[in-house]
Structure 1
Amino acid sequence: MAVAEPRRRAPRVDAIRNREAIVEAAAAALAEQGTAVDVREIARRSGVGMGTLYRHFPKKEDLVETVLRQEFSEWAESARRNAIGAADPWAALTDFYRQALTGYARHRAIMESFAVISSASDTDGLQQLRLVLEELRASAADLLRPGVTTDDLLLLLVSLGHAVQLTDECRPQLWHRLLHISLDGLRAGHREPLPAGPSTQDSTLRTRH
């Protein structure tokens, strides 16, 4: 006679509400203070005790990762929708870079984490970025100089993200200048061949499945 498996208890409404409050408070605190924010500050903002916070997120790193992945996913999906609906492919590409880098400049934790986004550990984030940039590249293919790849666009975004991190506090407009120069270099009017890039196997930005 088969023994029935015990039913899993559904999360209580108040537990769901507490988790949502913690994530929302953490998102605001991380944007303002970066990953160095004290979890006690997050608990205070969310209106829950430390015990409740740790039941949902035993480690601070778990909470930070949850928040950043959620915000990154929402941003990437928004960028993808905007790219698909854009009438001007070049405007879609340039707007994507401006919006992305402006977001990094306003969110300290994202700016800090972006410094290591090219590592193989963040495959989900890289894959989301690659999918968006692939659509943008395909739409603007006739407007881009020959040989520009999706990995080129991804590496450019990572590089400009570092520029934001290094210059935003002391010279906040400098990355706008660098972005303008970089985008101009992508235009189809440049006909000289690009240097050979790394192979697919050697690319450090290639996600692994």
Structure 2
Amino acid sequence: MKPKTHHSILEDVIAVFMASIFVSLGIYLFSECGLLTGGTAGIAVLLTHVTPFSFGQIFFVVNVPFYYLAYRRMGTRFTLNTFVSVSLVSFISDYFRIFLQFEYVNPVFASVVGGLCIGMGILIMFRHVSSLGGLGVLSLFMQDRFGISAGKFQMVVDIGIVGVGYFLVPLPLLLTSILGAFALNIVIALNHKPGRYQIN
């Protein structure tokens, strides 16, 4: 019998929902401490400092241009799964505090645990032919096309995005945010390597 090479639609739906919960929890922990993150999520967080829109609203819009690249390079399935992932994270992140509130969160704890949660969520999405869109699409394309580690590529870009936060947040929070970016991307770098869980 030929081994099954793809997850079923039901498996994708369940996995993408779980992954979106992980990512939204991580973003919520970051937001509780005013931390920054990388990727299009990081861009959305930065824009919440200078616009009246919520994270979810900005995150959804920022990802729109990347769907074309996703469709051209990764295919219909990846594009649809990514659209669902981005939509869920956009919605859940804006309403997470309805279900969970903290009196106090240590910023270092939030950066590490939040980063690990987001990293695990992204890893699940990768393994179910999905992503958080934006730079996630670009990093998967770089890995698929040129063999560059998705985690390492995204780590470099993420640190650059967080670096922009130098002009928006105090230095201690900026350094803690970089720790969170490292925690996030180390999960991907250690668990998602070229040759494993390929898109096609």
**Which structure is higher in helix share?**
2
Alignment TM-score, normalising by the size of structure 1: 0.30
Larger Rg: 1
Compare relative contact order (CA 8 Å, sep 6+) and give the higher one, 1 or 2.
2
TM-score by length of 2: 0.31
